[in-house]
Amino acid sequence: MSHAPSQPTDLISELLTGMRLHGVQYRRIQTGPTFGLGFSPKPGHAYFHYLAVGTAILRGADGSQHRLSAGDVVLLPRGEEHALLSGDEHPVQCLETIDAAPLGDAVSGIDTCPSTHAVPSAVLFHGCMVFDLGGMQGLSKVMPAVMLADGNGTQFPGLLPMVDAMKREVCSGRIGYAGILSRLADAVAAMIVRDWVERGCDGASGLVMAMRDPRLSLSLLALHRDPGRDWTVEALAAESNISRSVFADRFQTVIGTAPLRYVTELRMQLASQWLTHPSLPIEVVAERLGYASQAAFSRAYKRVIGHSPGATRRGRPLASP
């Protein structure tokens, strides 16, 4: 069996295709010279901010601060509590308590700029999205609380044209701009996550180390491409062309969990994603993931996720294993 040397990169690409950022709520916000906007914690979601005009301070729940200027993009992948302020001491008002005007499907507008000011001091686009990493869901636990991208910098070479497009849409108010902005926001957020993964996740995740391991990456790639196969440790080791014992030890050391436990958790993470689609029956999800019966699948799902597949189907917030 021969494998191309680019397999680790193939695996990263494979895993990234499972990432989904489902927009739930977007807002176009314009303010006067002083403002304080509070964002409550949203587990299982990500917050997205794009500052088109002006400056702001992002203050995290732990008191950390990040100074933002026009063109900056911020992703908070764990949906933690935070605030956007014009100054350190300005009082904060929860965004949910501020009146918003509908601008389109799932998009609304907030204007706190006083009528005495002809031009807003700050204009930003905000999104709150369901953050679904599919087979990479475990990475969400080790992501930084705040991921900042300078839209005018060189770290993200593909980001500048998208940020420019966002600024034009935010400021123009043309027909359909709200829907276009929400799609651009999804793409920009995905680019930020991809960059973090490609840079090694700041050395924080054993999964990333495994993705770059020339042996383990082969078995992981096969597993992620066919999660419903009747996987055994021997079968996974064969994909990596190493012995069962060497593979099991290496997998446990690098990833931090046993191979078959990883298989089960991957299947349940994928199931959590698939169950959000009402057109996909639970028994079909079970079959795709290699379970002989819906009952066996349901037992495994509840053991890993903490509640039944039906609870997820009914809209209960997803839990990360």
Dist CA 124 CA 73 (whole Å): 10
- The pLDDT tens digits along the chain (321 residues) read 444 444 555 666 666 666 666 767 888 899 999 999 999 998 878 899 999 899 999 999 889 999 999 989 999 988 899 999 999 888 999 998 999 888 776 778 888 888 778 788 998 988 888 877 665 666 666 788 899 888 776 677 778 888 888 888 877 767 777 778 778 887 888 788 878 777 766 665 666 677 778 888 889 888 888 899 999 999 999 999 999 999 999 999 888 889 999 999 889 988 887 887 778 899 999 999 999 999 999 999 999 988 999 888 876 544 433
Residue 203: its pLDDT value, please? 62
pTM for the whole structure: 0.70
**DSSP element (H, E) containing 149:** strand 147-150
Dist CA 19 CA 245 (whole Å): 32
Residue 3: its pLDDT value, please? 47
Cβ–Cβ < 8 Å for 28, 181: yes
Amino acid residing at 211 = M
Alpha helices in the chain (DSSP H): 7-16, 159-172, 177-198, 206-211, 216-225, 233-240, 244-255, 259-274, 282-288, 294-305, 309-313
Count the alpha carbons within 13 Å of 95 in the hemisphere toward its beta carbon: 26
Cβ–Cβ < 8 Å for 318, 268: no
- Counting other chains too, the contacts that 309-316 makes at CB distance below 8 Å and 24 or more residues apart are 309/271, 309/275, 309/282, 309/285, 310/282, 312/271, 312/272, 312/275, 312/276, 313/275, 313/278, 313/282
CB atoms within 10 A of CB 146: 18
CA proximity to 195, closest of 124, 147, 244, 258 = 147
Dist CA 140 CA 96 (whole Å): 25
Q: Extract the tokens encoding 113.
A: 């700029």
Residue 266: its pLDDT value, please? 87
Residue 243: its pLDDT value, please? 96
Dist CA 139 CA 151 (whole Å): 24
Dihedral of the alpha carbons of 187, 188, 194, 196, in degrees to the nearest 10: -160
Return the residue matching tokens 């900042």.
148
Residue 20: its pLDDT value, please? 67
Residue 232: its pLDDT value, please? 96
